[in-house]
Amino acid sequence: MTPQLASFVIAVSLMSLCLIAGSPIADSPIAAIVISPNRDAVLLGSQKGLELRSWPGMLFVGTIDTELTHVHDLKFSPDGTMLLAAGGSPAEKGAVEVIDWANKKRVRSVVLHEDVVYRVAWSPDGMRWVTASGDGICSVVDAASGETIARYEGHSRAVLGVAFFQDNKTVASVGVDQTLRLWNSSDGTHIRTLDNHVGTVNSIAIGPIVPTADSNIPVTLATISEDRTVRLWQPTIGRLMRFGKLPSVPRTLTWSPAGDRLYVGCNDGCVGTIDSRTMEVVETVDANVGRIHDLALDFEKGLMLVAGEQGFHVTGFLVKQ
């Protein structure tokens, strides 16, 4: 058997295997993931589109039609009925597609920006959502109509992360200009800038409000940056509370429901669990997906879905009670 014939046979075999396994997405970069509200399915977003799989088995179920060439974020509405897929075509347009989760169909496509939308966030009451775009602008959109309510133009570079406060009004956004900015989502007016990071800020997540006797718990924000730090803030008074250093650049972060842990996925392919009081890394898991882009955690099952350059990976993690 000549070398050429051998490679021909191998090529054919691989091709067939691919068809059987049915998963073009398995080993290629995945930028966005989300676990469905009733935790029986996951949606994976990448340059190949939107792919639906079972959870936690990760069996291929089907695809959802999308026009986004790059998918960067997937977010369910607070009531779990609608899904936003954010992304677009780099250097051309940024768009958010609104998907009815019940029938898995796109009901609306909102083109808002001149560059991709990197993140989208719902307001807690589900009435609005806000975008973070590569063109440096954030748009606040009315969920029901799809109309733009306000725009914030305070960032001087691409915006990479955005989050809505519990008051359904204040928004925090972060990006390449190394700042964390608070602004009013009703009219796009600037409130405050927090300026301690010394590198691009990659993501932001608002800490959960844990109900206790004292109802005046200040909101805590967490941000992660190219400067390899995780920082906690009390944004309403503009204070940096504490920060922790990481061995590798962090890209994505999630809070635990109790607010005592932060889960951070990094460039080196590891997920670090950070104690939010001491800012020490208490556990590290190597996820084997290369550079990590997104994390989704199922706290009931104690399972974590990690998406990165080389596909996805499911692993268990310790859920502290």
Binding to other proteins by CB under 8 A, coded x per residue (else -) over 287-306, reads ----x-x-------------
Binding mask 160-189 for other proteins (x = CB under 8 A): x---------------xx-x----------
Residue 51 or 101 having the CB closest to other proteins: 51
Q: How far is the CB of 112 from other proteins (least distance, A)?
A: 17
Q: Name the residue nearer to other proteins (CB basis): 59 or 91.
A: 91
Residues 40-79 that bind other proteins (CB under 8 A): 47-49, 69-70, 72
CB count within 10 Å of CB 121 equals 25
The single residue among 11, 21, 217, 318 that binds other proteins, judged by CB under 8 A, is 11
Q: Is 234 in the site for other proteins (CB under 8 A)?
A: no
Q: 246, 252 in Cβ contact below 8 A?
A: no
Q: By CB under 8 A, how many residues form the interface with other proteins?
A: 37
| Binding status of residue 222 toward other proteins by CB under 8 A | no
> How far is Cα 193 from Cα 143, in angstroms, rounded to an integer?
27
- Residue 100 contacts other proteins per CB under 8 A: no
- State the nearest-atom distance from the C-beta of 156 to other proteins, in Å: 4
- Per-residue contact track with other proteins, 135 to 154, x per CB under 8 A? ------------------xx
Exactly one of 28, 166, 189, 278 binds other proteins (CB under 8 A); which one? 28
**Binding residue for other proteins (CB under 8 A) from 90, 218, 302, 316?**
90
Tokens describing residue 60 = 């291929």
d(CA 188, CA 237): 20
Please write down the HEC assignment for all residues of the chain. CCHHHHHHHHHHHHHHHHHHHCCCCCCCCCCEEEECCCCCEEEEEECCEEEEEECCCCCEEEEECCCCCEEEEEEECCCCCEEEEEEEECCCEEEEEEEECCCCEEEEEEEEECCCEEEEEECCCCCEEEEEECCCCEEEEECCCCCEEEEECCCCCCEEEEEECCCCCEEEEEECCCCEEEEECCCCCEEEEECCCCCCEEEEEECCCCCCCCCCCCCCEEEEECCCEEEEEECCCCEEEEEEECCCCEEEEEECCCCCEEEEEECCCEEEEEECCCCCEEEEEECCCCCEEEEEEECCCCEEEEEECCEEEEEECCCCC
**Using the rule CB under 8 A, which residue among 7, 54, 148, 189 binds other proteins?**
7
CB of 244 vs other proteins, minimal distance in Å: 18
Choose, by CB under 8 A, the member of 82, 117, 132, 134 that binds other proteins. Answer: 134
**Binding-site string for other proteins from residue 244 to residue 283, where x marks contact by CB under 8 A and - marks none:** ----------------------------------------
Which residues of the chain form contacts with other proteins (CB under 8 A)? Answer: 4, 7-8, 11-12, 15, 28-29, 31, 47-49, 69-70, 72, 89-92, 116, 118, 134, 153-158, 160, 176-177, 179, 193, 195, 291, 293, 309
